[in-house]
Structure 1
Amino acid sequence: MVPPQNWVDYEKVLGVTNNLRHYDYDVYPVRSAVTTGVWWPEDKPAYTIAVVNNDDQPIQVKGRIDIVRYGTKGRPNDVWLPEMVKLADLGSLPVDIDIPAHGKKK
Structure 2
Amino acid sequence: MLNSQLSHIFDDNIFIFLEQNDYYKIKNTHIYDEILKHIEHFLLILKQVVEDEKCKEIKILDVLQYFKVKPKQAKIYKEILDKELIFIKKERPDIVDSWKYYKEFEKMCENL
> TM-score w.r.t. structure 2 length?
0.15
Q: Which has the higher contact order (CA 8 A, sep 6+)?
A: 1
Between structures 1 and 2, the one with greater helix share: 2
> TM-score w.r.t. structure 1 length?
0.16
Query: Which structure: larger Rg?
Result: 2
